[in-house]
Amino acid sequence: MIILADTRQQDKKHKAKEKWFAENGIEVRRTKLYCGDYCLPADQSVCIDTKRNIQELVGDVCGKDHERFRAELIRAQEAGIHLIILVENEDGITQLSELHKWVNPRLWIRKGGKQAYPNATRGVTLMKCCYTMQKKYGCEFLFCEPYIAGERIIELLGGVT
């Protein structure tokens, strides 16, 4: 099986996925993708955009990268692409409805005896924003542990695992 990986995806930063792909006969070809990080060469109607953790998701959904992320969702929607955001995490979150349980580690940082980031995004806020984006842009937020991300990507792209 051959899959495409976006060239903007940091090379060598996804060792667990790359290892799984190699061990399972998945050939990864790097090219610039219209949206997302992974898709099939012959059918790009489904694309997977991976996030290394929930904190990266916060930056895209509620933070400084919101406009860029929103533009990608709109681009996918206008092109008829089903964009799946696969969030790798070791926080025990397995589905969007559980995201309210997530506690932002920034809430625990203290400086001078005071909470350094009292306005850090909370799990419930992030969950509501993700649900809104799903409804508005037709994307889908899924979650998995990092060690199964490679297998999950192939499964989502319609490959057999």
For residues 125 and 134, give the distance between their C-alpha atoms in angstroms, rounded to a whole number: 14
Cα 37–41–47 angle (5° rounding)?
Answer: 35
Q: Is 78 exposed, middle or buried (0-12, 13-18, 19+ CB in 10 A)?
A: exposed
Structure tokens at 68: 């860029």
For residues 119 and 92, give the distance between their C-alpha atoms in angstroms, rounded to a whole number: 23
Domains of the chain: residue spans and CATH: 2-156 (3.40.50.10130)
The mean pLDDT of 69-85, rounded to a whole number, is 98
Q: Range with the lowest mean pLDDT among 9-18, 52-61, 141-150, 151-160?
A: 9-18
pLDDT at 161 over 60: no
Residue 103: alpha-carbon gap to chain centroid = 18
Per-residue pLDDT of 92-118, as tens digits, reads 999 999 999 999 998 888 888 888 888
Q: Pairing mode, if any, of strands 38-39 and 27-31?
A: unpaired
pLDDT at 160 over 70: no
What is the predicted pLDDT for the residue at 159?
Answer: 75
Per-residue pLDDT of 28-57, as tens digits, reads 999 999 999 999 999 999 999 999 999 999
What pTM, to 2 d.p., does this model score? 0.93
Instruction: Judge contact between 121 and 58, C-beta under 8 A.
Output: yes
What is the predicted pLDDT for the residue at 15?
Answer: 85
For residues 11 and 17, give the distance between their C-alpha atoms in angstroms, rounded to a whole number: 11
